[in-house]
A and B are shown apart, each in its own frame.
Chain A
Amino acid sequence: MQLLSGNEALALGAYHSGVQVATAYPGTPSTEILENLARFKDIYAEWSTNEKVAMEVAMGAAYTGARAMASMKHVGLNVASDPFMAASYTGIIGGLVVVCADDPQIHSSQNEQDNRHYARMAKIPMLEPTDSQDAYDLMGYAFDISEEFDTPVMLRTTTRTSHSKSVVDVKRKRVVKNPQPTFHFNQQKYIMLPVNALPRHALMEKRLLKLREYTETFPLNQITWGKRDLGIVTGGVAYQYAREVFPEASFLKLGMSYPLPEKMIKAFADQVDKLIVVEELDPFLQENIQAMGIEVTGKEFIPLVGELNTRIVTESSKVAGLLPDSETGKVLPPASGLPRRPPLLCPGCPHTGIYFVLNSIGQRSKLAASKNNGPQEPKLIVTGDIGCYTLGAYPPLSVLDTTACMGAGIGQALGMERAGVKSKVVAVIGDSTFMHSGITGLVDAVYNDGHITILVLDNRTTAMTGHQEHPGTGISAQGRETCAVDIESLARGIGVRDVKVVDAFDLKALRAGVRDSLERPEVSVIIVRGSCAMLIRKRANPRKVDIEKCSQCNYCLGLGCPAIQSVDGQVFIEPTLCAGDICTICEQLCPQKAISA
């Protein structure tokens, strides 16, 4: 027995199922799946440039008879949706499992889309674990189903199943079905010209009919009989909440949530007085069951927004009359008036300096302060992107105007400029995000003669998700030295004439660089280079504030550095937090020269 997170169980399950090629782009809450798989040296694991490439690499591997897996967060599947749909048409040879981890409650994402709809759109089977044991077990079924039905299989988790640890009985040992992958010529299967694609669609519909039969006897679609007055259909982590809230009800737990076992659901519904669905996000199970002509409720009282928990399921069920009101325990509200503690850029973060410069050039503190005084036009518009640097949106830096999805900032900047705004427009994007989907935006800006500045914040890692390698670092997911893609040469190769590389910890150079780029009537790229502070172990000479010299102007607090604190109006630097010599940004900006080692 082992205590494993859902992601660890998925990785181990895939390994034991003989996965040979595993691909991913990091994204919360899916990242640890590939991190755990990469430790096994007898498989091939890669961080792919983005999820689309990850899907394509896995697809190619599956065509050769190897077992392959691509894992990603929910919005990653948007990026990968093109090859994902194609894989459903071509089918596979070796098992192909697509793990997608949804993020109800938006713990660390830009939305909480319900990816179960993708399985229905792609007409492929979908499995959903309720805990880590299920995750481990379902992974075994996923590869078998994939090969038996010639289809990719989607394994969908959520933050709560991916990031919860529970006890797993690790029952299997690694078996590789096809140790020598081979590709066999088969144009009708692999070339999706119209002449081939239409017959493949017909095969997909036949496949779906077969899967509808299969799911009726799928071992992880399980009925647990309790009292017959209430029957609950559920899956994913919602099953755990419902079991706890309704210890006496009858349950139909769906380990396969697409296609649904219609006969099984009908038989279950016939034997209970009232049928409800408990599920997170959209009424996916509910509407599919209603389409079978079965009377069922769920989203009439279970929220559509956010993740569930036992409190929410309890309170919602009371409103629906499923639980007596008397069960109300006294619930305290959270203590009032407490200061918030949002995530911050770390001490020594290479993003702090450039953000301070953008804040001052764009006078952005004023903007945030007067946001209730009607429409404000930023002097300097800053389109943002996805990563740690999105945290620069918070005060005191307040530097971002937009954040939509991976790579969006460059296109948005060009759009604003072309629409004719009078302000200068700057796009900020991290190095890993630039590789992921910033390059095509840059090509567009160059091709269409944009007059925007693009800041590539190059901290040499994928920081937000926990420091994964990427094409710019030249180290593979399995720690091999490979070929590093050089951002300067890439930008020049695309046709950017003005490419600057600036030290992220040199305030003067940053200010001069930005001012210069803003004046240029062309696409300008500034690579702001400095290692992520969390990757630097050496911390020497924390800075100190000389109280004699300090005029208490609080200018340094504008950096938002967690090490710079203030007690009773006097600023001090917490020595256990300060990054010291690698940073010195506060020292550089102090007007009184009161900060030194």
Chain B
Amino acid sequence: MSNGNKMEKIDLLVTGVGGQGVVLASDIIGETSLAAGFDVKKTDTLGMAQRGGSVLSHVRLAPKVWSPLIKDGSVDLLLAFEKLEAARWSHYLRPGGIAIVNNYEQPPLSVSLGQEKYPTNDEIAAALKRQTDQVYLVDGTGQAKELGNVRVLNIFMLGCFSVFAPLEVETWKESIARRLPENIREINLTAFEKGRKEIESVRIGKS
């Protein structure tokens, strides 16, 4: 797969911190993929991990999917809502896979207590670059705040991902509209568009 070409199957990891909307985002990805005619499986960490812990969703779309869990070392695209979580799951990426990382730090308690250190940007980049040079750092939290609601971050990240997914923009918008209540639909659709633009601009910047 060359830079940014649409894929025929995607093994996708979505990760972040409890409360960032990882599960809703991966649900929408699954539903959109189904609407586009793919076989889909997805599975999340629920239960105890919801309480501010590390959250991970596996989403697989292909003509036929067996295991709901993706094998480490074979993820095509890592969509990370938080930087440390991007590094944590970096070993799941396949060589040459894509990482889209929200440039945002949420220090875990052990960091606030001074017991552990939050990794530097270089350390996070190094963890990802063990497998790939295709790392897109996006300002999701900043742009969500600009839109006036930090909670639209997940749909912004969805917009970023959509650029690489073999699914039509209209199909995305329909499933976003189906899953979100009317009062926040418009702002989320705007966030989705912003996410798409962000990737396009970062990508141009790269080449």
Seen from chain A, the residues whose Cβ lies within 8 Å of a Cβ on chain B are 1-3, 28-29, 107-108, 131, 160, 163-167, 237, 240-241, 243-244, 309-311, 314, 329-335, 337-346, 388, 391, 395-396, 464-466, 554, 557, 560, 562, 564-567, 569, 576
Contact = CB atoms under 8 A, between A and B. Distances in A.
Given A332-B91, A341-B53, A565-B107, A244 B66 contact: yes
Interface in B115-163: 116-119, 123, 127, 130-131, 150
A460 B98 CA distance: 44
B110 A340 contact: yes
Contacts of A310: 67, 69, 71
Contact of B46 (A108, A243, A341, A567): A108
A240 B66 contact: yes
24 contacts: A1-B34, A3-B34, A29-B46, A107-B48, A108-B47, A160-B69, A163-B46, A164-B41, A237-B67, A240-B68, A241-B69, A244-B66, A310-B67, A331-B73, A334-B88, A334-B90, A335-B88, A339-B84, A339-B118, A341-B84, A562-B52, A564-B112, A565-B112, A569-B114
Nearest to B117: A339
Contacts of A560: 109
A466 B50 CA distance: 9
Contacts of A338: 84, 87-88, 119
A237 B68 contact: yes
Interface of B: 17-18, 27, 30-31, 34, 39-54, 65-69, 71-74, 84-85, 87-88, 90-91, 95, 107-114, 116-119, 123, 127, 130-131, 150
Contacts of B91: 331-335
B51 A343 contact: yes
A164 B116 CA distance: 33
Closest 5 CB pairs of A and B: A108-B47, A339-B116, A343-B53, A335-B127, A343-B51
A164 B44 CA distance: 7
A345 B112 CA distance: 15
Contacts of A343: 18, 48-53
Contacts of B54: 341
Contacts of A466: 50
Given A3-B30, A107-B48, A338-B88, A164 B42 contact: yes
Nearest to A390: B48
Given A163-B44, A465-B47, A557-B112, 10 more contacts: A164-B68, A165-B40, A244-B66, A332-B72, A337-B123, A341-B54, A341-B108, A344-B52, A562-B52, A569-B114
Contacts of B68: 131, 160, 164, 166, 237, 240
| Dominant secondary structure of chain B at its interface with chain A | mixed
Given A332-B91, A339-B84, A341-B17, A107 B45 contact: yes
A107 B66 contact: no
A517 B65 CA distance: 58
Contacts of B73: 329-332
A53 B123 CA distance: 53
B34 A167 contact: yes
Given A335-B87, A340-B116, A346-B52, A241 B108 contact: no
A108 B109 contact: no
Nearest to A244: B66
A349 to B, nearest CB: 9
A108 B108 contact: no
Contact of B43 (A163, A335, A576): A163
B40 to A, nearest CB: 6
Nearest to A560: B109
A253 B169 CA distance: 39
B49 A166 contact: no
A329 B123 CA distance: 24
A241 B67 contact: yes
The residue in B73, B90, B108, B114 that gathers the most chain A C-beta atoms within 10 A of its C-beta is: B108
The residue in A29, A244, A333, A340 that gathers the most chain B C-beta atoms within 10 A of its C-beta is: A340
A576 B108 CA distance: 15
The residue in A160, A335, A564 that gathers the most chain B C-beta atoms within 10 A of its C-beta is: A335
A309 B85 CA distance: 21
Contacts of A28: 46-48
A444 to B, nearest CB: 29
B40 A166 contact: yes
Contacts of A244: 66-67
Nearest to B110: A339
A490 to B, nearest CB: 29
Contacts of B46: 28-29, 107-108, 163
A332 B116 contact: no
B48 A337 contact: no
B20 to A, nearest CB: 11
The residue in A28, A29, A342 that gathers the most chain B C-beta atoms within 10 A of its C-beta is: A342
Contact of B130 (A332, A345, A569): A332
A29 B47 contact: yes
A309 B112 contact: no
A345 B53 CA distance: 10
A167 B107 contact: no
B52 to A, nearest CB: 5
Given A107-B47, A108-B48, A343-B51, A165 B41 contact: yes
B51 A344 contact: yes
Contacts of A108: 46-49
Contacts of B51: 343-346, 388, 391
Contact of B90 (A335, A391, A566): A335
Nearest to B34: A3
A388 B17 CA distance: 17
A189 B179 CA distance: 49
A342 B53 contact: yes
Contacts of B88: 334-335, 338, 341
B145 to A, nearest CB: 9
B109 to A, nearest CB: 6
The residue in A107, A338, A569 that gathers the most chain B C-beta atoms within 10 A of its C-beta is: A338
Given A343-B18, A346-B52, A560-B109, A3 B40 contact: yes
A330 B53 CA distance: 29
Contacts of B49: 107-108, 343
